[in-house]
Amino acid sequence: MTKELPAPTLLSPELLDEAYEQRLLERIRAGDRTACAECIDLHSAGVYRLALRMVGDPHEAEDIVQETFLNAFRTIDSFEGRSSLSTWLYRIAYNAALMRLRKKQPLHVSIEPYVDEEETATTPVQLFDWCCLPEEDFQTAEARNELERAIGELPEPLRAVFVLRELEGLSTEETAQALDLSVSNVKVRLHRARLWLRERLSGYFTELAQRSQERN
Amino acid sequence: MDAAVSHHTCKELLVSLSDYLDGEAAEALCAEIERHLADCEDCRVVVDTLRKTILLYRTLPPPSPPQTIRARLLHALELDKDAP
Ligand SMILES: [Zn+2]
């Protein structure tokens, strides 16, 4: 039997309230400053997390948040409401992050640069069962850093899919809209990202498990 | 110590493991996967550690934005000034 996995729990009730969002949009379009501030309060944390996990640097992430809202309020009239406001904001932030990554590594970020690397990295090689580690070993600051670092090392085409779908809790459809991908592409990339991360974390947790076995 | 999962069935089932763990795989496929897992230690380890990986990420405390971000943002967007 499959044990139920918990759903990501980052979504606040306002984010799911369509009527509220509609009113908020109308107020922003009418130039209501409080509405803009409300929009920032509601969405800036999510935009910041995506930006941070894409570029890895807190200052740069903050710049991206600023660019995102500046850009969003400036072009709010072109927002057609085919996606939710948060999906649209994630999309703007993702494009801003991508532009920065491309500036830094113009050779690495092309259309499908990591295909081979992804293929090899998603074939399971690490086959030690580290699930037996005591739960407190998974909750240390070191382990959590390792989890964050691994996200930063995910091949770029997989990273945003993993962050939005798995960590921010967007649906497959919303993730596809935010990243301009097909639904099936989102599914494939999420699966590859999970396999890639399993492999990457196995290195760390296997060593931890073997060290504690030696001690006992 | 490490050996790649390379058996034909293993490779075929690998593609469906996310659907399986998300509860989105059809009943027949679930049954097939579970039959295979009963006999294949390697795949069992992959499934267990994959499930654990997903669980660790879903329960990872999210990074918080710096405390000052709101004030700086409102300032940059000129939303902290009095309305004209
Ligand atoms: Zn197998």
Which pLDDT tens digit goes with each residue over A144-196?
999 999 999 999 999 999 999 999 999 999 999 999 999 999 999 999 999 99
Calculate how far, in angstroms, residue A24's C-alpha sits from the geometric centre of ligand 1.
52
Say yes or no: A19 and A72 in one domain.
Answer: yes
Q: What is the pLDDT of residue B50?
A: 97
Q: What is the mean pLDDT of residues A98-125?
A: 68
CA dihedral for A23, A8, A40, A55, sign (positive or negative): negative
**pLDDT higher than 70, residue A3:** no
Does a structural domain hold residue B70?
yes
Does a structural domain hold residue B13?
yes
Does a structural domain hold residue B3?
no
Calculate how far, in angstroms, residue A70's C-alpha sits from the geometric centre of ligand 1.
51
The mean-pLDDT minimum among A112-121, A134-143, A162-171, A180-189 falls in: A112-121
Q: Which residue among A36, A129, A148 sits closest to B48, beta carbon to beta carbon?
A: A129
The residue with greater pLDDT, A131 or A4, is: A131
Query: Which range of residues forms the domain containing residue A169?
Result: 130-215
CA dihedral for A57, A59, A61, A64, sign (positive or negative): negative
The letter for the amino acid at A209 is: A
Q: What is the pLDDT of residue A171?
A: 95
Q: What is the pLDDT of residue B84?
A: 52
Please report, rounded to a whole number, the percentage of residues in chain B having pLDDT higher than 90: 71
CA distance A8 to chain B (A): 6
Does the CB of A128 have a partner CB in chain B at under 8 Å? yes
What's the domain count of chain B?
A: 1
Does a structural domain hold residue A7?
no
Q: What is the pLDDT of residue B60?
A: 95
Q: What is the pLDDT of residue B17?
A: 96
Calculate how far, in angstroms, residue B47's C-alpha sits from the geometric centre of ligand 1.
10
Test the A interface: residue of B29, B52, B55, B78 with most A CBs within 10 Å: B52
The mean-pLDDT minimum among A79-88, A107-116, A155-164 falls in: A107-116
Q: What is the mean pLDDT of residues A36-48?
A: 95
Calculate how far, in angstroms, residue B38's C-alpha sits from the geometric centre of ligand 1.
9
Q: Hey, what are A59's tokens? A: 């200052």
Calculate how far, in angstroms, residue B14's C-alpha sits from the geometric centre of ligand 1.
8
Residue whose pair of structure tokens reads 């920065």 in the numeric block: A100
Does a structural domain hold residue B40?
yes
Q: Which residue among A4, A37, A65 sits closest to B69, beta carbon to beta carbon?
A: A65
- Residue A190 belongs to a domain with what CATH number? 1.10.10.10
Say yes or no: A99 and A171 in one domain.
Answer: no
**pLDDT higher than 70, residue A6:** no
Q: What is the pLDDT of residue A106?
A: 64
CA distance B31 to chain A (A): 9
Q: What is the pLDDT of residue A1?
A: 45
Chain A environment of B54 (Cβ under 8 Å): 5, 166, 194
For B2-14, how does the pLDDT look when each residue is reduced to its tens digit (9 = 90+)? Answer: 455 656 789 889 9
Q: What is the mean pLDDT of residues A60-89?
A: 94
- Residue B59 belongs to a domain with what CATH number? 1.10.10
Pair A170, A87: CB distance under 8 Å = yes
Q: Which residue among A70, A126, A144 sits closest to B60, beta carbon to beta carbon?
A: A144
Yes or no, beta carbons of A166 and B58 under 8 Å apart = yes
Q: What is the pLDDT of residue B1?
A: 39
Does a structural domain hold residue B84?
no
Give, in order, the Cα–Cα distances in Å from A63 to each of A47, A70, A112, A177, B68. Answer: 11, 11, 27, 23, 13
Q: Hey, what are A189's tokens? A: 């990339």
Chain A environment of B6 (Cβ under 8 Å): 123
Q: What is the pLDDT of residue B81?
A: 76
C-alpha to C-alpha distance for A41 and A213, rounded to whole angstroms:
47
CA torsion A118-B21-A48-A86 (nearest 10°) is 110
Q: What is the pLDDT of residue A131?
A: 92
Which residues in chain B land under pLDDT 50? 1-2
Closest Cα partner for A189 from A168, A165, A167, A171?
A165
Average pLDDT, chain A: 88
Q: Which residue among A8, A44, A129 sits closest to B45, beta carbon to beta carbon?
A: A129
C-alpha to C-alpha distance for B46 and A198, rounded to whole angstroms:
8
Radius of gyration over alpha carbons of chain A, in Å? 19
Does a structural domain hold residue A109?
no
Pair A158, A193: CB distance under 8 Å = yes
Does a structural domain hold residue B57?
yes
Does a structural domain hold residue A118?
no
